[in-house]
Amino acid sequence: MPVKDYYKVLGVEKTATQDEIKSAYRKLAKQYHPDLHPGDKDAAEKFKEINEAYSVVGDAEKRQKYDRGEMDMDGQGGFNPFGQGGGFSASGFDDIFDM
């Protein structure tokens, strides 16, 4: 199974800055947020895909691993006993509407 192109998911170039990636994420997250599309399974799936992409390329360390091809399909670089929740975090979701 091929690795997802997280840059394509977010609509940015591989050379995008972290600020450009964050801006693209916020725009797409706001556009596809499930609260704005109740019952729309396609929007919910797109929202999950956007969050998955941002959890990798929005984090400088994970982005470097991803760019080197060191990430698994789930965005993990192997077992990390000190890691958290598969790369997903509740922080940041409140500010997607602060645009």
As averages over each run of 10 residues, the pLDDT of the chain (99 residues) reads 85 97 97 93 95 96 92 51 45 57
Q: Give the pLDDT score at 84.
A: 46
Q: Give the pLDDT score at 3.
A: 73
Q: Give the pLDDT score at 28.
A: 97
Residue 28 burial (10 A CB sphere; 0-12, 13-18, 19+): buried
Kindly list the structural domains of the chain, giving each domain's residue range(s) and its CATH number in brackets, ordered by start: 14-71 (1.10.287.110)
Please, which residues have CB within 8 angstroms of residue 18's CB and are 6 or more apart in sequence? 58, 60
If you ran DSSP here, which 8-state letter would residue 34 be given? G
Length of the chain: 99
Q: Give the pLDDT score at 93.
A: 56
Taking the model in full, what pTM does it have?
Answer: 0.71
Cβ neighbours around 36 below 10 Å, total: 12
* 93 neighbors 47 (Cβ within 8 angstroms): no
Q: Give the pLDDT score at 41.
A: 94
